[in-house]
Structure 1
Amino acid sequence: MNSDLTSFDKIEQKIGGSRKISNYIIGGMLTIGGIGFLLASISSYTGRDLLPLGNPSTLLFIPQGIIMGAYGVIANLLNFYLWYLVYINFGSGSNYFDKSSKSVEIKRKGLFKDVEVKLNFDEIKSVKLDISEGFNPRRRIALVLKGRKKPLPLSGAGELKPLLQVEEEGARLAKFLDVNLEGLK
């Protein structure tokens, strides 16, 4: 979440989406694996080696070739889905806070359509820091809205920033919105 404090009455934060190096690596591995399983299945059916490694033409088509073909189809379906998410940059967007109009605008790219949330400052109860450490750590900033139990997350999914940076951004946002900051222990 990159904050741009060009003036003291507006804050705009850009949120990164699914275009991460880890998604490219997983997508590449899934592509290679899925194509490999399909080629092994076709090799066992035709009796010709289509892969440079191993000897898949010696496999029996039933049951090994069929199962490898199913693995290949499933891997390629997941592969297309992941590459589509990377292509549309799923989850990317922006947070825009305007003090002069007392409005908040949160935009994210969705799977089939974009999500846009518009709020007024008076609908915001507080800014919450959701911090959990351990095996699956989470450090995010969220808005607690009046009349809603679940907070509205502002940070991107999978962002793991240093704790001090998250606290500073949360404190700066709470001061800007003139609300309390929750979640610090």
Structure 2
Amino acid sequence: MTAQTTSTDTPVLRQQILGSRRFSNYWWASIVSVGATGFALASVSSYTSVNLLPFADPTQLVFIPQGIAMGFYGAAGILLALYLWLTIAWDLGGGYNEFNKETGEITIFRWGFPGKSRRIELKSKITDVQAVKVTLREGINPRRSLYLRIKGMRDIPLTRVGQPMALSELENQAAELARFLSVPLEGL
């Protein structure tokens, strides 16, 4: 998430949110695609007795049960890889947070799954903001999140989903946002 003020005349703070187009998602989608293709080709090679893999000889496998199992793992892997590539293509969770003092509006925008709710956009008035809240939880599944507390609404998450942010980065962004909006900072 990067914060920037777009102009000195119009005080606007815009934070880009990285969605599913992260390096780790590209990495896992590629690994799953290669592995699933290997399993599927091993299954087909076992059935047709024609070697389709340059690094192994799956023609020696008995189709039932080994070839069938390889085909099942290949099909499951291909479906998982397809899902991963689609989430990357749709950039799920990507978007921005925009705080515009000139218009007095806050816009929280995220991309969702295709359909009626593809565009997730929340708008609110800056005057309705009560606080900027920081949530920290350490342990096996750590959580470091930044929330916006708005009157009449539940807390709105402002940080990306996935890998937790560095503590210093979270503190800096929370302090900058609280200062920009002139609201208290909670949770630190």
What are the within-5 Å matches in structure 2 for residues 16-35 of structure 1?
16-35=18-37
Partners of 2:104 and 2:138 in 1: CA distance:
34
Provide the residue aligned with 1:172 in structure 2: 176
TM-score (norm 2): 0.89
* Distance in 1 separating the partners of 2:13 and 2:153: 24
Question: 1:1-185 to 2 correspondence within 5 Å?
Answer: 1-5=1-5, 6-7=7-8, 9-112=11-114, 113-149=118-154, 151-184=155-188
Residue deviations 1:118-174, cap 9 Å, x none?
A: 11124322111122222222222111233344x211111125333122112112211
Report the number of matched residues: 183
Instruction: Judge conservation of contact 1:18–1:85 (CA < 8 Å) in 2.
Output: yes
Give the SS at the match of 2:169.
helix
Deviations 1:26-76 (A, max 9, x none): 111111111001011111111222112332112121111111111111101
What is the distance in 1 between the residues matched to 2:46 and 2:25? 31
CA distance in 2, matches of 1:14, 1:57: 51
Letter in 2 for 1:39: L
The answer (yes or no) to whether the contact 1:139–1:159 under 8 Å persists in 2 is no
Moved more, 61-70 or 171-180: 171-180
**Separation of aligned partners in 2, 1:159 and 1:66:** 37
* Distance in 1, Cα, partners of 2:22 & 2:73: 26
How far does residue 89 in structure 1 lie from its aligned partner after superposition? Answer: 1.9
Which 5+ residue runs of structure 2 have no aligned equivalent?
none
Structure 1, unmatched stretches of 5+, are none
Q: Secondary structure at the match of 1:53?
A: coil
What letter matches 2:41 in structure 1? L
Greater CA drift, 72-81 or 170-179: 170-179
Cα distance in 1 between the residues matched to 2:180 and 2:23:
33
- Take 2:177 and 2:21, find their aligned partners in 1: how far apart are those partners? 26
